[in-house]
Amino acid sequence: MDIKRVAVVGGGTMGNGIVTVFAINGYDVTLVETQQEFLERAIKNITSSLERMVKKETISEEVKSAALKNISTRIGVENVDPNTDLVVEAVYEDKGVKTSIFNKLDGLLKAESILASNTSSISITELAPKNRADKFIGMHFMNPVPVMKLVELIRGYSTSDDTYNAIKETTLKLNKVPVEVQDYPGFIANRILMPMINEAIYALMEGVATKEDIDSVMKLGMAHPMGPLTLADFIGLDVCLAIMTVIFDGYNDSKYRPCPLLKKMVAAGKLGRKSGEGFYRYE
Ligand code: 3HC
């Protein structure tokens, strides 16, 4: 299937990034939110992301203007155009909310349309609407989406080869690198990344080193662009805890137990950049 018309549900950080890469690469993309106010904020953030890319000379001023023209907006999933070829869901990690969105979309979209979820850890097999499970797939982008090259393509139990191939081709057209992953807890990216972050938090809790030194070890010793505690703040500690919990529950293995310090910080509302404080403080 040749994917031309795309919709993205959710105007948060990930949704905005996904809209941006589709728009830059010439797709007609509709951003869907629940309120006009959220759409306005999203378009403002998408515009500043594009401006940042022009300043860094990764795109030209012309590409930026064309990308903005490729974006339209819509309030409510029930108002998505039934002729949309691909809908990518990027709302917060709540299984009930995501399932309700997919069921609504399943009822209104043409039979060939593909549904994708950007979930970071919820099972693709469990999220798939019953009647469209063959046309359902995980499309897991990395933050910040316009910069990171990887997209994990997660095959649910019933995802068809046609669906996988269409999404793989689309991912390549976005100038991203697709990686095929089976539907197991944490997929690959988060199954490896989150235990590393969790272990860094254990090291901090046990007083093995300061937060700055733990980050320096991984930045300077392993050439990671960000230390694990800085990265945890960047991702959001609540997101890290939610993913760790899915992996822990999914494998029922104590090696994945979330660190008590991570739990305590989430309970205290210290969520990282988005709350102004996590392991570090932010303006
Ligand atoms: N659009 C939006 N945000 C952008 C952006 C763009 N085009 N380019 C960069 N950013 C963001 C960052 O959020 C940060 O925001 P701020 O300026 O508002 O504080 C800022 O850019 C930092 O950008 P700089 O230009 O100063 O820094 P660099 O360009 O040198 O690198 C980086 C920034 C690419 C984020 C780099 O530090 C990096 O690669 N870090 C690791 C990122 C990573 O590991 N991502 C994966 C996270 S895991 C994930 O997403 C899975 C999920 O399921 C949890």
pLDDT single digits (tens) 139-190: 999 999 999 999 999 999 999 999 999 999 999 999 999 999 999 999 999 9
The reply to whether 208 and 75 lie within a common domain is no
CATH number at residue 227: 1.10.1040.10
Catalytic residue ranges? 120, 140, 152, 190
104 confidence band (pLDDT: 50, 70, 90):
very high
Residues 164 and 255 in one domain: no
Mutate to test the pocket of ligand 1, among 122, 143, 147 (most ligand atoms within 8 A of CB): 147
Mean pLDDT over 45-57 rounds to 97
**Residue 235 and residue 168 share a domain:** no
Q: What is the pLDDT of residue 247?
A: 96
Q: Which residues form the pocket of ligand 1, taking CB atoms under 6 Å from any ligand atom? A: 49, 52-53, 120, 142-144, 146-148, 189-190, 193, 225-226, 231, 235, 239
**Is a pLDDT exceeding 90 seen at residue 1?**
no
Indicate the pTM of the whole model: 0.96
Rounded Cα distance, 89 and 101, in Å? 8
Residues 169 and 83 both lie in one domain? yes
Domain total of the chain: 2
With respect to residue 264, please indicate whether it lies within any of the assigned structural domains: yes
Q: Are residues 237 and 163 in the same domain?
A: no
The range of the structural domain enclosing residue 43 comes to 5-182
58 with 94, same domain: the answer is yes
Are both 81 and 19 inside the same structural domain?
A: yes
- Nearest ligand 1 atom, CA 236: 54
